[in-house]
Structure 1
Amino acid sequence: MSTPSSDPMIGRLLDGRYQVRSRIARGGMATVYLATDLRLERRVAIKVMHGHLADDEQYKIRFIQEARSAARLAHPNVVNVYDQGQDGETAYLVMEYLPGITLRDLLNDHHILTTEQAFDILEAVLSGLAAAHRSGIVHRDLKPENVLLADDGRIKISDFGLARAATANTATGTALMGTIAYLSPELVTRGTADARSDIYAVGIMLYEMLAGEQPFKGEQPFQVAQQHANDTVPAPSLLNPNVPAAFDELVAWATAREPDDRPSDAAEMLAELLVIQRELDRDAPEAAMNRTMVLPMAVESATDATQVIEPVVRLSAPTATLGPEADKLKRVSDRRRARGGWLVGLVLLLAAVAVGTGWYFGAGPGAKVTIATVAGLDVAAATAALQEQDLIVDDATTEAYDPTVPIGTVVGTNPPAGEAVDHGAVVTLILSAGPEPLPIPELVGLAEADALQAATDSRFTTTDSRYIFDGSTPGIVVQALGAGDVDLTTIETYGDQQPVTLVVSLGSIPEVSGMTVDDAQATLAQVGLTGQPAAEEYNDTVPAGNVIRAQAVQGESVVPQGGTVDLIISRGVEQVAVPNVVGKAWSEAKPILESAGFRLDYNIFADMAPGLFTVSKTNPDAESTVDKGTTIKVRFDS
């Protein structure tokens, strides 16, 4: 069967174990794929829930219920379920893979089956269904699409997705699930199901195998549902005169509108089926010796999706009279007989083919080996793993950029992992060359949002930005750092998907000059900074004990967001002694007073001939202590 190449599941590796190969079929709840179990090296069928149902808890529960229901059944006529899991958002079941066709495919090709063929299929279906009913499980969605006819002659029931534990009154809810053509009247009218509802579906399938079409038709599902609720299923012999009367009665018994008028479960119907067949074989022994063998054609099938309808109100209608043969059909018998000759012949023929094929592909010249996954290993370990598979590892390797795998470590193989190749095939290791070097965009000077977008567009990974108080424009990137805090402006290229950290300015440290220490600390706390008294300085304008300024901690160039700053505290005006310059020439005295930080009040004519003017007095007096910057009056000898 061809598979659309656009299906994202094709080629996917689920849980590192199941390699999806191709699509087999698609239904209402899930799609079934052919896959390879890489661990056990066998083909399996993977049933994947549709993505649009993944968020529906009711469908998830029903999907998991299928695995649990099937796992409770160990019977040759029920498809085995091996595993159930979840890979990310993908919920899946791992089932036995049966190459072949469905009963729907066979009916599409042949339309009407012989009585012998219908018997063989019905016996297998009832055998598997009887095992389910004995385990307390009701299938609730029996239809030809769920009956698998394997190439080796096996017949199995699949798709227990709607199965539930059987109770006296198993409800389906306000809406009905199942394919309309096989719904029992009680499912349509009351939304309830038990083992007898499965029997009704089996009866409809038997009618379809013998008559070549379904008993009820309509343009809308609602019309078909009404017929199930109100009409009696006709005898298949009305369309196919070759159908024995006993099979007409079996269809009538199985499809009685009242559940109490049907077989109680699959085991009872199976017993009566065998009674009918024995009687038919006794009446026509030559037919029993010469069964018709039909080789099913492998045709592509579009399976009917499970549908949802609302329950309909049942209209009154007389109950069908089944006749004396129906009473006879209710007798329980434990007699069994061998499977029909056509199926036995098919099994023997395909078994012989399977033996030869198994030798050819298992040990003969057609043997294949699936390449193991060695990504993440070093060269020695990967080589050893592949050589254990009887593969030859090429001495020459190739390289590929990889942003996560260390340089020199294996990132893949050629041919790729999961591909089936001949024993002794040559495999080339692909080693990581590290991240691909990429040009670095201009980030410094951009607004933070623009810089983040530019880094992402350039295939880098952005980390949380860092924020600093540096006096620049707030919100502007002042530095871009790579791994190890390397300044990206100092290099030309940087690795694909490697981290980029932006350093963004928060502007200047808040102004706290003149505030008390408590007020300054409160102001800084509003922007996430901690102020700590660090040093004292004389200051002519800030009162002693108040804050002169806040600055970066000594030795740091910037202040990070949430960091600590130093508070410089005022000691007030500095007290200094007036230098003694009395008796000194003005040319000598003036520099001494100015260097001591004093302002001077004197006769400006002294500056014209400083060597001729001698200081006679200062006010304040020499050696007295005054504020630094005080004005000193100078007097000269007259």
Structure 2
Amino acid sequence: MATVYTATDERLERTVALKIIHPSQSRDPRFLERFTDEAKTIARLTHPNVVAVYDQGVYRGLPYLVMEYVRGRTLRDILAQRRRLDPGEALTILDQMLAAVAAAHRAGLVHRDVKPENVLVAEPPSGGLMDAVVKVADFGLARAVEASAEDESGGGQLMATVAYVAPELVSEGKADTRTDVYASGIVLFEMLTGRVPYDGDQPIEIAWAHVDNDVPAPSTLVPGLPPSVDALVRSATRRDPAARPTDAGRLLTAVQAVREELGSAPAAVPPRPGDAATAQLRPVSEPTQVVARVQPPVVDDRPPWSRLPGQPERARPQTYPAGGYQPPAGGTYSSGGTAYGSTASGGTAYASGGGAYGTPRRPAPAENPRLRVALLAGGLAVLLVVLLGGWWLGFGRYTTVPTLTNLSQADAQSAITQAGFEVRLGDGRYDETVPKDSVVAQDPPSGSRLTKGSTVTLILSLGPERIVVPDVVGKDFAVAKLDLENLGLTAERGPDRFDNAIPEGFVVAVEPAVNAEVKPGDRVTVTVSKGRAPITVPSVIGKNVNEARAQLAALGLNVLEERKDDPNRARDEVISQDPPDGAGAEPGADIRLTVSNGPPQVTLPRVVDRPCQEAKAQLEGMGLRVRTDVNPNATVRFQNPAENTPVDPNAEVVLTCF
């Protein structure tokens, strides 16, 4: 329905996604109005797992959306790479998917096209799907296109992806929140098994398979899956909409229950400090130090990329210099809350959240010299430990990451192991200069300082990226252009030409040819048929070349001749033609004729001054016809044709004898 570009918002200096609707979808003037209404509805849908819509407009008659740019991959890309996911990963992704769809359902919006291509997954730098952030895109877009198609055609149009289409959409053309529930169940099935439940040669066959069959249990394809996961898929993909969960929120509740059962639900967050109520402490009768138990603040160790928009960063622990926090003169204080204590005696102290404040008893200075020496020695020992610990924490435990780029995989892994690090292989990437299976990038970069045992990620080269030109011959030009652009190629329409077999508007040929290997972004020239040519080529086989040439020239065709020896054809007889009779040709087109040279010619010998009968016998033996004039029993005085003249077999030779 659309093409998506990476774009830059120059006013806010941010990267956005720009989705421009294809011209074929926006021919109806009423489409723009419907599309604008849907865009406004989508823009009001705010949720951390929904791809945000920033703006909407029209450029050269084509409507577009300005959307949030998600740095990640589609779920389709992940499944193409890994084929299928384990249940914990699949349910983690589905959990966030359903959170987004449930928000839409609460707002009265049905997605109508839930599929892996519309699920964006932002994986953490360390990899792994359990901590990934999932966002769902294209809410309401299918409805805008479908509504326009209904207005234009009078109904009967279905905008859906047949692999995930709900039975009621096929049989009745109706969609509600349970339609999204069904599609979500199919997505879960595909994540678990690596395939969709139904396949076929024609889209209509796949669509009606959803109407006629129950979705099989995933464990029938992947043995060992938990029964609760099978039950979850079965509940979401009931053919009867009334038997499914009523909306994505109900299905989300069931998914979270299964995750908890499988032990993949996230751990509960500990209570924050300060949650306890303020307590009254007992009176003190003498100066003392009030000691309060401090509950450390909860630390959110997750990196900023993994926190969803609008989610505040949790409090981090307060740090103090070596030796601990020093209280103000006349009292003590401990973090975690506020407490007020009495001064001398008989007062009342209050504490909140574990903090306390009171008046300490000051000890008398040490008078013993031995004690002073012991304290000095202890202080020096503590200082030494602090210095050594500081050196270890700041320098000693760190090692410099070596340079690994351009090394082979084996050499790079050996260098990392010798440096004391662990190795992790990231997703490879194509590179025109770095050989395949050599390191094209590393994370962290060379020269970084890491603690021993840390992980260094290697990105290996996949070699130069090459794309095989697809077979688009016989396809409509718009479809062929889209196929080429989806592969990262640039489609350019060349001069059209007539073709007898391929209808007008369909592809005749591509250059480079089908199955040729090209670089991403290379230009592919597409030749499109103009339909059958206006002139019908007649048959001239068996005719004299002069007659054939005149007939074809009268039709405005150009004749090209090629000679060939043929003992069975007369000289100058047309043996074959290209194009054949009945083919179409445009004015000025070349018609190639193969013309016979006849049998091989014979060179006449000299028979002058020889006896006439002897000369006649010799020439007849060569396959020639001989006629004698004047006195056939005399001597040959003249011959016609003359000696050394090439003649056709069975040609006549006249001998004059006297």
TM-score bucket of the superposed structures, by smaller chain: 0.3 to 0.5
Higher relative CO (CA 8 A, sep ≥ 6), structure 1 or 2?
A: 1
With normalisation by structure 1, the TM-score equals: 0.39
